[in-house]
Structures are given as C-alpha cells and as structure tokens.
Chains A and B, each alone.
Chain A
Amino acid sequence: QSALTQPPSASGSPGQSVTISCTGSSSDVGGYYYVAWYQQHPGKAPKLMIYEVTKRPSGVPDRFSGSKSGNTASLTVSGLQAEDEADYYCCSYAGSNTWVFGGGTKLTVL
C-alpha cells in the first residue's frame, strides 16, 4: 500500500480554524468509512482524536472534527489553542484487514 497524502505542514493563529487533508484512493479512503486521525506531540505516543471519519473518543474536545468526500478525508481544528501544536496523522482501512497511514502534518500555532 502507498501512504496516504497529507500536506507536510499547516498553521494558524490562536482562535482560528485549520483544516488538514488526507488523500488516498478508492481502495482506502474512498472505499470505506473507516478513517481515523491521531495527534502526536514530540517524544510521545500517538493519541486517537477521530475515528470512523467523524466520531470523537471520550475526552477529545469538540474543537476537533472530521469529514470525508470521495477519496479525501479532512480534520478540522477550530478555535486553535497552543496545545494543539503537534503532528497529525490520518489512517484508513485499506481492505483485507490492513491499514495505511498518511505521511503526517506538522501543525504550528503561530
């Protein structure tokens, strides 16, 4: 499988909204409603932020939201806060019980 395509970087000022895209194909993102997003701070393990495209695990602020259109999924962070600065990775089901991640996006809060 080829990694999903994410922009290397994204940025926004505190209080603003930023959207990170994740582009795959009909064999992964476009073919299933199983896209998740993970947040990773430096030196830490990833943390689940969104699953099944739009759902938030308990404890994740509602500032984080997910969506999907065709072969592209998106993560939107509204009301940016300093602690949102991290790397974000998308992950999609790719069939046959396999999974594929995106290359990651470094979110900077200006």
Chain B
Amino acid sequence: EVQLVESGGALVQPGGSLRLSCAASGFTFGSYDMHWVRQVTGKGLEWVSGIGIVGDTYYAGSVKGRFTISRENGKSSLFLQMNNLRVGDTAVYYCVRGSYCSGAGHCSPVGYFDPWGQGTLVTVSS
C-alpha cells in the first residue's frame, strides 16, 4: 500500500524555523517527483513546492527564499525546511506524490498528485 506520513508540525513564533518530514512507503520513492501542498483551516489548497527525481526544486512565489525542499531517496523521505515563518504560513501541510519519472527524465502523467498524506499542522503565532 502506498503511504505518505508527515511529521514535524508544531507551534512556532513568527520569524522562527521548522523542518517538516514525510516518510514514504509502498512505492519506488526515487522514481517520483514529490510536492508539498498546504491548506489554511477552512480555506483552499495552495501548492508550496516540488522536487524532481534528480533534486531540481521549485517554489511558489509566497515561500521562495524562505522554504527549502529536499529529498533523501535512500530513506524514502521528503523534507521541507521552513525559515523566517510568518503568521500567514499557518496551515496543514500535505506531502503529495507526483508523476512517475523514467530514467530518461520523462515524467507522466503530468499533474498527477496522488496520494496525499494525512497532513501536519504548522501554527505560526506569538
């Protein structure tokens, strides 16, 4: 069974840092691009960041320069280092599996975000 389990969410003060982790199982982690998507309680979804199978990284404008996504394929793990946190970063953060990528670098299906983890809550407040 494919499974994604997030951890690391906590209460942190504005300006603080936090590192989220996602443990993946049930699939060949190193063959998939991975993403973080967040959701403010009661609000919509926001794509935060993505990482390719060779470690290429991508960010939403709202977090660029503050968040860093990384992966450790040998441990089937995804990470999100969040620095200079703001009140507006308060949300549930979901770890999401993306497309399958072949050795030749072709990824498909495109935009196939499935499955999602159960989420971890990050609260930024003084």
User: B: which residues have CB within 8 A of A?
Assistant: 35, 37, 43-47, 50, 52, 56, 58-61, 94, 109-119
Q: State whether B116 touches A99 (Cβ < 8 A).
A: no
The residues of B that contact A52 with a CB separation of less than 8 Å are 109-112
Interface residues on A, range: 20 to 34
Per DSSP, chain B at the interface is loop
The residues of B that contact A41 with a CB separation of less than 8 Å are none
**Complex Cα spacing A55 to B109, Å:** 10
The residues of A that contact B115 with a CB separation of less than 8 Å are 45
Closest 10 interchain pairs by CB? A48-B114, A45-B116, A99-B47, A97-B58, A101-B45, A104-B44, A34-B111, A103-B44, A34-B110, A36-B111
Q: State whether B44 touches A3 (Cβ < 8 A).
A: yes
User: A: which residues have CB within 8 A of B?
Assistant: 1, 3, 34-36, 38, 45-48, 51-52, 55, 57, 89, 91-93, 96-104
Residue among A1, A46, A55, A103 making CB contact with B116, cutoff 8 Å: A46
The residues of B that contact A46 with a CB separation of less than 8 Å are 37, 45, 94, 113, 116
Q: State whether B60 touches A38 (Cβ < 8 A).
A: no
Which of B52, B61, B109 has the most A CB atoms < 10 Å from its CB? Answer: B109
> How many A-B residue contacts, CB cutoff 8 Å?
73
Residue among B47, B60, B61, B119 making CB contact with A45, cutoff 8 Å: B119
**Complex Cα spacing A35 to B112, Å:** 9
Chain A residue at minimum C-beta to C-beta distance from B48: A99
**Complex Cα spacing A102 to B110, Å:** 18
Chain A residue at minimum C-beta to C-beta distance from B59: A98
B106 to chain A, nearest CB (A): 14
Residue among A57, A89, A97 making CB contact with B50, cutoff 8 Å: A97
The residues of A that contact B117 with a CB separation of less than 8 Å are 45
Q: State whether A45 touches B94 (Cβ < 8 A).
A: yes
Q: Can you identify 18 A-B contacts, CB atoms within 8 angstroms?
A: A45-B94, A45-B116, A46-B116, A47-B116, A51-B110, A52-B110, A55-B109, A89-B45, A91-B45, A91-B47, A92-B111, A96-B58, A97-B50, A97-B56, A98-B47, A101-B37, A103-B44, A104-B45
